[in-house]
Structure 1
């Protein structure tokens, strides 16, 4: 009787593991990643963090061609058919073979351990994934995304304070808890994707999965040494960010990056971190408006006048995967400085702007760099009284609400109204006129 019980228990465990392997393989087709690519990974130009050449075989059979995923899924179905079992196998020598089961399960385990990452963090409890649905709303000449995530109403509380990525738990004094930094190493292994080092500056970064994830594979680039979130992006920050975007494109993924700078920008942590979100081929909705802008002169900042709030955009030159870090720095940092100057100028033209360091949002795609000055972090929706927190994603065209009631209130109140309220009034025409006058003065002199 005891042997029968153990046999049945083993059978159920085998079935459960195989069902999970099939499920993981299914998602592995859409999110292709070699789990161990960070071992021996190096920073290259181009490509950002790239796997060691010794792992090229795994990259080929997992990322380029999902051979491992197909094989693992096939093994999962075979084991399910064997353990269930299907009628044709029942009573056969294959069905009775314990050795065959052991071999198949080892092969299945070896396959699944090669390509899962996001699912591992989620299943371990290190990563919280909140299901959501996206509603499209036509306004200001483009389709805005309103993501409804009712689960955020019950976002889990953790101790010490929650961040977007966790660190390994340990005994802490009260003073340590107060100074808890979720982006300081050592990192939780299931959230730690890998490390980067900028060769020119020596700055080291960690790449972490977002602990509270609404979109799969939302990840962060964080400085290993503490840098304040209200500090501007430095040349090496921009270079490493763009290298990651190039690496994503090389892997046939379309990501954009964003940075919330300052207390009113929607930043959730004080440790410097840049965030990355995967989007469809067209990019975030704001990019549709940026691409449609006809520029009289290239290589200068411009503004999207149709949106009604202050925004400063720069169209980047086409940068290939062969661009060196030096070329990237030259192509990215000077535009960033020019946009930052416009942000400061915009704030100075606002007489009732809050005191303190100016806040702004940065949105970076392979084509454009956007900087948006911020006045407030939150907006209260009329009679409903619900408070919306708006960060860079809101200005990228991707807003978040916690209920369908909030979505309806947002659509009724208009997205432009919300963004204008938390942003700053545009004075772009005045700034352009001032620049033109300065140029004329220099010419006449």
Structure 2
């Protein structure tokens, strides 16, 4: 009886390992990386880690053509049908052969350690960076603050008062001065404890670097950075959007609730002039607080932008079609690019309706979840709290419903002032009803028929 139990346990372990191998190989098709490319590699500036010549065969079989990933999927699927087993395999000798299955499992394990998935590496990368002292993690507490139809999260982090004061970024100088780029913390050589990996789109020849955020308030906060310098004042391009959505999908498959945000322009709350998209996890299964309000909207025209009209500031939202992540890559790219361009047009139109908008390039925040895309135009980087006189910096997280304060005094001032008033103060008045007609109807009296 004991042998039977152990035999079944081993079979279940084998099936679980094989299913995970198939899953990992699937995402390895999109995030192609030879795990051991650092062995014998050379760190160059610029260029980062350059694999050793001996790794060329693995680069060809993993990065250039995902042969190993496909082979891993085949072996994993075969092991599942043998172990389960399918009726056709019950009478075969391979189903009864321990040696055959052990050899296949060992071979499967060998193949899966040749590549890795970015999302799977984030937790260990975060812990290693914290332990090495290269990543500064600031503990915090979350205070729920219901206001209007949103339950905001105000994160209190007194330790941020000790955060090193960073020089302010000059986005316009970064656009035109190569010298500024050389001082860029996102340029190689990368800190090995913050570096996670590369992402590359072979078709567009776009390459990205994934790295941990050096100053983190939320565990696992990481960045998707363009490998070549591009300005944070530039809009997101299709490949930025596709890579971002692919990472969110991978996180969802790994049972992590994650969303992405992008601060565009010098009034958006961005801290670095090098183009980067940020990712953080949330404990709530519903995502960031603003998602509950967006999800409650009933759409009359599902393929058109809408606005959360109960909010006191300009906001533009697009709902993605269901099962977008399972669509072909070119379809995903088309949906994401079209959605972003439509919202960006509305944001620029909103800015044009503001006669006293500051001179210069427009600024806005972008929030990306698996269900929605949000674009919010900005006119100020900071809000001056009346009670304390302090400048409260607001970036895309604020519009996601997650504000950050450094003291109890600031916390009480934010509650007293009102989150909606703060976000309106650094944002713009909504003119969405003049821009789009007949796209949404919010529950009850929350919104108006546009």
Output the TM-score relative to the length of structure 2. Answer: 0.68
Look up the match of 1:142: 150
Judge conservation of contact 1:126–1:191 (CA < 8 Å) in 2. Answer: yes
Matched, 1:207 2:215: no
Counterparts of 1:176 and 1:200, CA distance in 2: 31
Q: CA deviation at 1:432?
A: 2.2
Question: Structure 1 residues 41, 377: CA separation in 2 closer, same or farther (over 3 Å shift)?
Answer: farther
Look up the match of 1:241: 244
Counterparts of 2:323 and 2:296, CA distance in 1: 20
Matched, 1:368 2:376: no
Q: CA deviation at 1:48?
A: 7.9
Judge conservation of contact 2:27–2:250 (CA < 8 Å) in 1. Answer: no
Structure 2, gaps ≥5 residues long: 1-20, 36-61, 63-67, 77-120, 170-177, 440-450
Q: CA deviation at 1:218?
A: 0.2
Correspondence 1:267-306 to 2 at 5 A: 267-279=270-282, 280-306=284-310
Question: Structure 1 residues 434, 246: CA separation in 2 closer, same or farther (over 3 Å shift)?
Answer: closer
Look up the match of 2:48: none
Correspondence 1:105-254 to 2 at 5 A: 116-157=124-165, 179-254=182-257
**Aligned partner (choices 295, 298, 308) of residue 312 of structure 2:** 308
Look up the match of 1:394: 398
Q: CA deviation at 1:254?
A: 1.2
Corresponding residue SS for 1:317:
coil
CA RMSD of aligned residues (A): 3.0
Judge conservation of contact 2:31–2:200 (CA < 8 Å) in 1. Answer: no
Corresponding residue SS for 1:306:
coil
Q: Does 232-241 or 379-388 show the bigger shift?
A: 379-388
Counterparts of 1:213 and 1:246, CA distance in 2: 22
**Aligned partner (choices 379, 383, 389) of residue 387 of structure 2:** 383
Q: CA deviation at 1:289?
A: 0.4
Counterparts of 1:326 and 1:225, CA distance in 2: 24
Look up the match of 1:424: 428
Counterparts of 1:216 and 1:200, CA distance in 2: 33
Counterparts of 1:364 and 1:49, CA distance in 2: 25
Judge conservation of contact 1:47–1:246 (CA < 8 Å) in 2. Answer: no
Look up the match of 2:41: none
Question: Structure 1 residues 141, 433: CA separation in 2 closer, same or farther (over 3 Å shift)?
Answer: closer
Question: Structure 1 residues 244, 415: CA separation in 2 closer, same or farther (over 3 Å shift)?
Answer: same
Corresponding residue SS for 2:436:
helix
Q: CA deviation at 1:124?
A: 1.1
Q: CA deviation at 1:140?
A: 1.8
Q: CA deviation at 1:41?
A: 9.4
Map Cα deviations across residues 83-130 of structure 1 (whole Å, 9 max, x no partner). Answer: xxxxxxxxxxxxxxxxxxxxxxxxxxxxxx998321211121110000
Map Cα deviations across residues 9-59 of structure 1 (whole Å, 9 max, x no partner). Answer: xxxxxxxxxxxxxxxxxxxxxxxxxxxx9xx999756678797768989xx
Question: Structure 1 residues 114, 410: CA separation in 2 closer, same or farther (over 3 Å shift)?
Answer: closer
Corresponding residue SS for 2:211:
strand
Q: CA deviation at 1:430?
A: 1.1
